[in-house]
Amino acid sequence: MRPRMFVTRKDGVPLAMAVVDCCGDTAAFLYGATADDALPTRAGYALQWAVLCHLSRDPAMRWYALGGAGSATCPLHQFKRGLVGKAGVILHERPRMSSPAANTRR
């Protein structure tokens, strides 16, 4: 077990934080919080993106579990619904944009 804490800040002021535990090929979201003032900025989404980017650099990491959310009024349920996530595997190759010209054989 090696829990990690991630924090997003603006002008040095913490907006959102997450504690993520990594074990084997799975990272699990343990705790998180967003300052009330930061909710309109969607700092939690930016933070989760930063966590995913960090995890994608570890070749052993394949899964990121956000955990369950029982009720539709649960903040985690609302967050996950807004994230519109789907089950999948963390890719270790960053997505690349390609142009039609890049796919042309010479």
- Domain with 33, as residue range(s), is 4-103
CATH code of 16's domain: 3.40.630.30
Q: Please write the tens of the pLDDT for every residue from 65-106.
A: 887 766 777 777 777 776 665 666 666 665 555 555 544 444
* CA gap 46, 56 in Å, rounded: 15
pTM attached to this predicted model: 0.67
For the range 9-12, what are the long-range contacts, defined as Cβ-Cβ under 8 Å and sequence gap of 24 or more? 10/38, 10/41, 10/43
Q: Please write the tens of the pLDDT for every residue from 7-20.
A: 999 999 999 999 99
Name the domain count of the chain: 1
The whole-angstrom distance between residue 79's C-alpha and the CA centroid of its chain comes to 11
For residue 70, give the H/E element and its range: none
Q: Please write the tens of the pLDDT for every residue from 25-53.
A: 999 999 999 999 988 888 988 898 899 89
